[in-house]
Structure 1
Amino acid sequence: MKTIQLSKPGGLDNFKVVDTEKPVAGAGEILVELKASSLNYHDYIVAIGGIPTPDGRIPMSDGAGTVVGIGAGVNDFSVGDNVVSTFFPNWVSGDPSLLKSSVVPGDSSDGYAREYVCAAETSFTKAPTGYSHQEAATITCAGVTAWRGLIVQGQVKSGDCVLVQGTGGVSIYTLQLAKMAGATVIATSSSGEKMERLKDMGADHVINYKETPKWGKAVKEWTGGRGVDHIVEVGGPETLGQSIFACKMGGHIALVGVLTGVSGNVPTAALFQNQVTVSGISVGSRQDQQDMVRALDASTMRPVIDRSFPMENIGDAFRHQESQKHFGKICLDIGH
């Protein structure tokens, strides 16, 4: 089978296409014919060598395809089922722990940039009914992160006000889930064209953060001084201060990203004066993903896919991500 491997020390020119042996499902495992993957910031950091991996690591945390074989003792799946991978294969349910989050495909173990994979059945869930493989592949990391931040931890409800930052996969999913829940959405971007697309998707108000660097104040003004109930924070240290200011008293910030760095100054006085709750979110459990899939099955929501690349062109896909010109998710087509 065709497989993508990343040579040490990483870098977008260090991907290679190799032939590897097609696996066979053992006890408790399913054999999945993979059809699609999707790019996340985490995958990008792995690709450029920011997260060191062994020589020849198979990248990509997200994978979607069809079950073509099952081992003894498999209960959740049948041949022909369309499935999507979980980000933490060992985190089935319950609270997180170091053990449950110790394995991440494409990082600490081989990922899904290959034509077939054998994995424990708990490494996958059913895909949403009617979703294409590309659409399903966007759920694993970006979708479940937005779901856990907004629905599980945030407990968003109809009438709440939600702030989303930018137009990456997590932010677009957050916008869609917030509207599905009946919330008002404020979105930030630095692109006029993207701001128009955000409004077309249902954003009730948009702010250009380059033209309005103190956008927290603009959020407070637009909400009549109240602030927002929830923020899914993808920026990190350079945006967290504005997010704290933009929150209502007692609001919630789901801290899910580090696009502006991994450490920085936190306005602690504003944090406790505003009595804001900050939840650190690292994707979610298999149960979270199953809950999300059920919600998607009951809705008409479909993920936004910016562009797809053949798996062999994985370096070009990451360069497109690096350019920050995308709107929504970038996918890989895994052909046979």
Structure 2
Amino acid sequence: MKAWLLKDFGLSNLHLEEVPTPVPQPGELLVKVGAVSLNFRDKATVDEPHRVRKPLIPVPDAAGMVVKVGEGVSRFKPGDRVNSALYSRWIDGPPGPNEPDYCLGMPLPGGLAEYMIIHEESAVKAPDMMSDEQASTLPIAALTAWYSLMDIGNLQSGQTVLVQGTGGVSIFAAQIAAAHGARIIATSSSDANLAKVKALGVSEGINYKTHPNWEQKVLELTEGNGVDITIDVAGGNGLNQSVAATKVAGIITQVGFLTGQTSALNLMPLIFRQTTIRGIAVAPRTSFERMNPFLDKHKIKPVIDRVYAFEEAVQAYEHLARGPFGKVVVRIAD
């Protein structure tokens, strides 16, 4: 089969080559990959040194068809369409201490190939209403948004949610929150992108270039109270602004680190506002299985900025680095 192999760190070391097609072992599925989608994690995997066995087939987020099953498989059969899940062993409940050791796409082989192995216990039935390109956007971006809002945030109709930027997680969060009857405030550096997200159900948009103290604008829009839930994708010292923009005893779900992996956090506002900051590293399989019927019921379609051909994976990564509106997808098979 053809597969993209990361032989060392840096995009120049990602090469398309012929490798043996994997054989499913007991409990495993051999999946013909239809499409994969890229996340900021994938850029970090390529750009930053990690202790992984190289060459590595990157990208965990995939959708495709089961073509062969290993001994003892009972949850799926050949012909079923499935999604991968980032964590191959996190099925339900809280994560174990070593879940990152069993992530697809790094350190385990991912889906940027014609075929991939997925264990039947981590696979999820792909939504019938979605193409492989659409379904491939769900495993990290949509599921992170869902888990943040519904499982951790316990979002209620009528509450207010703040989303940062217009990447995959933020757009899914806006779509899910709007479908659940929440009010959404979005930040972005682009007025054009703010106009686009308003069409998806966002109530108010704040350009953080025009309003660098954007947390004050959030407070103005919420009668000084702040939002119920903040989806923070930026990280860095901007976390202090997220604390200020979130209501007393509100929740910040920390899902990204676009502006920095460290933060000089001002503790006094955090303490006196009694803010909960919860780190989010996607979600278990059971959360995925709760999300898909909701997406189906509310006819939520993923926002895809562009679909690239399999041979154009490097260009897809370059597009990701520029900051897409929504998701960047690579079609593996027609």
- Normalised TM-score (structure 2): 0.97
Question: Identity of aligned pairs, percent?
Answer: 38
Aligned position for 1:65:
64
Residues 185-221 of structure 1 show CA distances to partners (whole Å, capped at 9, x for unaligned) of 0000011111110111111000000111111111111
Separation of aligned partners in 2, 1:104 and 1:277? 27
Residues 34-83 of structure 1 show CA distances to partners (whole Å, capped at 9, x for unaligned) of 01000000100111234353321111011110111222321211221111
Aligned position for 1:226:
225
Is the aligned partner of 1:284 residue 2:293? no
Aligned position for 2:330:
332
Q: 1:50/1:208 Cα in 2 relative to 1: closer, same or farther (>3 Å)? A: farther
Aligned position for 1:303:
302
Is the aligned partner of 1:213 residue 2:212? yes
Separation of aligned partners in 1, 2:3 and 2:318? 20
The one-letter amino acid paired with 1:5 is L
Residues 86-106 of structure 1 show CA distances to partners (whole Å, capped at 9, x for unaligned) of 010011111111233421111
- Normalised TM-score (structure 1): 0.96
Q: How does 1:115-154 map to 2 (within 5 A)?
A: 115-154=114-153
Separation of aligned partners in 1, 2:30 and 2:53? 24
The one-letter amino acid paired with 2:7 is S
Is the aligned partner of 1:112 residue 2:111? yes
Is the aligned partner of 1:199 residue 2:208? no
After TM superposition, the structure 1 stretch with the greater mean CA deviation from structure 2, 200-209 or 110-119, is: 110-119
Is the aligned partner of 1:87 residue 2:86? yes
Separation of aligned partners in 2, 1:30 and 1:155? 34
The one-letter amino acid paired with 1:298 is K
After TM superposition, the structure 1 stretch with the greater mean CA deviation from structure 2, 214-223 or 91-100, is: 91-100
Q: Helix, strand or coil for the counterpart of 2:127?
A: coil
Separation of aligned partners in 2, 1:75 and 1:53? 31
After TM superposition, the structure 1 stretch with the greater mean CA deviation from structure 2, 239-248 or 289-298, is: 289-298
The one-letter amino acid paired with 2:11 is L
Q: How does 1:259-274 map to 2 (within 5 A)?
A: 259-274=258-273
The one-letter amino acid paired with 2:275 is V
Q: How many residues align?
A: 334
CA contact (8 A) 2:29 2:118 kept: yes
Aligned position for 2:21:
22
CA contact (8 A) 1:40 1:142 kept: yes
Q: How does 1:162-177 map to 2 (within 5 A)?
A: 162-177=161-176
Separation of aligned partners in 2, 1:100 and 1:12? 26
Q: Helix, strand or coil for the counterpart of 1:34?
A: strand
CA contact (8 A) 2:90 2:122 kept: no
Unaligned 5+ runs, structure 1 = none
Separation of aligned partners in 1, 2:51 and 2:313? 18
Q: How does 1:30-45 map to 2 (within 5 A)?
A: 30-45=29-44
Separation of aligned partners in 2, 1:175 and 1:297? 16
CA contact (8 A) 1:254 1:280 kept: yes
Report how far residue 132 of structure 1 moved: 0.6
C-alpha root-mean-square deviation of aligned residues, in Å?
1.3
CA contact (8 A) 1:46 1:53 kept: no
Aligned position for 1:181:
180
Aligned position for 1:55:
54
Q: Helix, strand or coil for the counterpart of 1:13?
A: helix
Separation of aligned partners in 1, 2:99 and 2:147? 16
Separation of aligned partners in 1, 2:80 and 2:17? 27
Q: 1:35/1:197 Cα in 2 relative to 1: closer, same or farther (>3 Å)? A: same
Separation of aligned partners in 1, 2:307 and 2:261? 29
Separation of aligned partners in 2, 1:296 and 1:73? 31
Unaligned 5+ runs, structure 2 = none
